[in-house]
Amino acid sequence: MVSDRISRPSILVVDDEEQIRRALRTILEARGFTVMTTASAQGALDRLLEVTPDLIVLDVMLPDMSGVELCDRIRSWLEVPILMLSVRSGECDKITALESGADDYLTKPFSAGELVARVKALLRRARGAPAHPPVLELDGLVIDLAARRVTRDGLAVQLTPIEFGILSLLVHNSDRVVTWDQIRDEVWGPECIVDAATLRVHVSNLRKKIEPHPAVPRYVLTEAGVGLRFSPR
Amino acid sequence: MRASYESLREFMHRRGHLSAVVLVAVATVASMPFRPYLDSRHWGWPYLLIVGSVAGTAGMSAALFAAVLSFLVWNFFFIPPYHTLIVADPQDLVQLLVYLAVATAVGLQTGRLREREAAAIREERHAGALARLSAGLVSGGTLGDIASLADTEITSVLPGATSVVWVQGASGALRAAAGDMPAPPGPVVASRDRNVAYGLPERPSGVTPPDPWPAASDEDAAGSVVVPLRSARGSEGVLEIRLAEGVQLAAEQAAFVVSTAHLLAAFLEARNLAKVANSAVAAREAERLRTALISSVSHELKTPLAAVTASITDLLEPDVAFDEVSARARLREVTRDLRRLDGAIADLVDASRLEARAWAPNPAVYEPGEIVGDVIARLRPAQRDRVRLDVPEGLPSVYVDFVQVSKALGHVVDNAMQYSSGGVEIGVRRGQDGMLECWVADRGPGIPEAERERVFEKFFRGAAGRASKSSSGLGLAITRDLLEANRGSISIVPGRPGTLVLIELPTGERADGE
């Protein structure tokens, strides 16, 4: 639906493993993407001098340079979304990847569905398209971002502007990690200094208002040390 | 009164010759006023009394000295002509010579008895010290306790002496068994090296009189006795005794020192043998783990791989035509096998990271529900529907590594899902001592009492685990390691149907308080 409006977005896959390049090419080409592949950081830099893809999928471990360093270099002149791949799921790796400028992070092994969902989410975000239809319905919870209205089991939920700001940012980035820094920048503004404890209080209040279980979050999930992730399932 | 008598005896014992002089002088002065009233021949009796008492307290040589001294004094003061050693009357001379003979005999006899008594007392003291030391050895104290006990007993037998037991430390260098001693002195090291190099000598160095051993070599420090602690196994260490200034060991004291050294060597040998036995047990355990690891790796990695290979090649075979529905069903099974393979690899990686201590926790403050939510989010939808939550609001925050604790709780919830078919309850409540309790309860077959502790061992599989198809045998071992790394704990609560696993986690309040 959304991707129909985009004419064959191009994706550069940087991974030194032949099997992963092959799998990604098969999965992505089958869904209408144009796929270019390269096995090294130098190959990626060379290719980026010729063409600018719509998205880059980057392995964290490359033979000639770490994916994090490559990401850092690319970020110095390119704004395209970058999706990092890694075999490690440690929180440090996630933080390093996201701090180096990657937009999202996917741990191997991943399913084709997961990969495609992330790729599409990143492309939509890059083009400014909404992640979800204006009204999101999850069991009894209805989130109408356009009307700035949230209801649970038919009853209106009163959210403060900050809580709504956080929810809106999370919903726009459904299934994606949203870092604490991003929340600060987008909800309070880049100049504001907000400490982690304050942020956590707002998130805790938001959860109490929208989550089906007041103490165990199902939608607003914690990504340890990194930030939050909205899971609309 | 008795105390002053004892101290007088003690003085006479140590200063026998001086005591003899003083006593003879006192007796002479006291008798002098009575000289005109008594015959010169009767003065021998008081002196004989003095010789006897000196012999009884100070021993033979002081008694002989007292006998000769009193013989001369009697002659000088009480036998005419007075104040000369000349004896005018031959009867007096006979009397004097008889006195000397009797006094000498009394001195010798009493002194010998006295010395035998003293030797018996010394032997009793040595035997008592050795008995106390051996009792201490068998009562199973630490090496430090034994070294201090040996020091106490050595000091009781050799007043003013101190002792150090030197044993070989892990680095191979000698270290003191008790107390904080600097490096051993040269003679100690030299003795150890000689002992190790030649299996000799059996004798302490630094002992000169009465020399049952060869003379001390140049490198031996003055005032210090170094005894190798030798056992049938070889060198166990070195006993160093630092004597008081100017003191040298007598033969029986040296024998005591050697006996002490033998006892210490026997203790050290037993202790070292126990260590060897323990490390043999550890080596066997490591061997068991290695074998179990190899069999687990081959089983856990190869089984899903075999299933995947079989399914995929089956789909590729041209002889059977699969419709799309059945092909997708087969592929879903393949995906499940692959997930199991991924889980097994993750378990092995986690277990090796924990074993290598390469996975330090990175704690922060979280609400317990955030961790529970993370665990539930990773479950499959069908499993998620089986979860019953009992997590009240307003619980204190926990101070833990989120990823590690979520992984640990995930293993426990996974087990509950696998080994039971009904609902799985996950609850959190405030515990004691600043801890938070999290429990996972199922209505499955439960864990037999005999297996409740063993399920946390690596590669242990209970009756249910053996029956189950997918268990790496590492899950609960990893769980316990992760929780303990986060200052938490895990246990299985007995006495209820199904399985109730209780996890304790430190709260943020507790972290603040420390």
The conformational region for residue B401 under phi > 0 = left, psi -120 to 50 = alpha, else beta, is beta
- Out of B342, B393, B403, the one facing A215 most closely (by C-beta) is B393
On the question of pLDDT at B436 being above 60, the answer is: yes
**B267-276: pLDDT as tens digits:** 888 888 888 8
Contacts of B392 in chain A (CB under 8 A): 215
B286-291 mean pLDDT? 77
Distance between start and end Cα atoms, chain B? 61
Q: Which one has a higher pLDDT value, B194 or A31? A: A31
Shortest CA distance from A231: residue in chain B: B377
Q: Distance, in angstroms, between B493 CA and closest chain A CA?
A: 24
Contact status, residue B492 vs residue B499, Cβ threshold 8 Å: yes
Using an 8 Å CB-CB cutoff, list chain B residues near A109: 338, 342
What token pair was written down for B73? 């004094």
Q: Which strands form A141-144's sheet, in the order they lie side by side? A: A135-138, A141-144, A149-152, A155-156
* ipTM confidence: 0.80
Task: Grade residue B1 by pLDDT with cuts at 50, 70 and 90.
Answer: low
Say if the Cβ atoms of B393 and A224 lie within 8 Å.
Answer: no
B61-79 pLDDT, tens digit per residue, is 888 898 888 888 888 888 8
- Which tens digits make up the pLDDT trace of B166-175? 887 766 677 7
Q: Which residues pair with A179 in a beta bridge?
A: A227
Range of weakest confidence among A38-47, A173-182, B41-50, B385-394: B41-50
CA distance B350 to B291: 18
Share of chain B above pLDDT 90, in %: 16
| Contact predicate B477/B351, CB 8 Å | yes
CB B265 within 8 A of CB B301: no
Strands (E), A66-208: 82-86, 104-107, 135-138, 141-144, 149-152, 155-156, 177-179
pLDDT the model gives residue B195: 53
Chain B, 369 to 388: residues with Cβ < 8 Å from chain A are 369-374, 376-377, 381
Residues of A in contact with B364 (CB under 8 A): 224-225
pLDDT tens digit string along B469-483?
Answer: 556 778 888 999 999
CA–CA dist B349, B293 (Å, integer): 12
- Reported as a pLDDT band with limits 50, 70 and 90, residue B205 is very low
Residues ≥6 apart with Cβ < 8 Å to B172: none
- Which of A213, A217, A224 lies nearest to residue B403, judging by beta carbons? A224
Quick one: pLDDT at residue A218? 92
Size of interface A-B (CB pairs under 8 A): 59
Say how far apart CA B108 and CA B60 lie, in whole Å. 6
Asked which of A107-116, B462-471, B496-505 is least confident by mean pLDDT, the reply is B462-471
Average pLDDT score over residue span B232-241 = 80
pLDDT at B437 over 90: yes
In this prediction, residues B274-282 reach a mean pLDDT of 84
pLDDT at B8 over 70: yes
- Inspect the interface and report whether the beta carbons of A214 and B372 lie closer than 8 Å: no
Interchain CB distance below 8 Å, A111 and B406: no
Contact (CB<8Å) B373/A91? no
pLDDT at A90: 64
**CB proximity under 8 Å: B 310-329 to A:** none
pLDDT, tens only, B150-161 = 888 888 888 888
| pLDDT exceeds cutoff 80 at B5 | no
Of B44, B45, B132, B148, the C-alpha closest to B92 is B44
The pLDDT-based confidence of B201 (bands split at 50, 70, 90) is very low
Q: Which residues of chain A have pLDDT under 50?
A: 1-5
Cβ-based contacts of A88 with chain B (< 8 Å): none
Which are the contacts of B174, defined by CB distance < 8 A and separation ≥ 6? B166, B167, B168, B183, B184, B188, B189, B192, B237, B238
Residues of B in contact with A216 (CB under 8 A): 369, 372-373, 376, 389, 391
Contact: A214, B364; criterion CB under 8 Å: no
Q: Residues in chain A whose beta carbon is closer than 8 A to a beta carbon of chain B?
A: 89-92, 109, 111, 204, 208, 213-218, 221-222, 224-225, 231, 233
Mean pLDDT, residues B358-381 taken together: 90
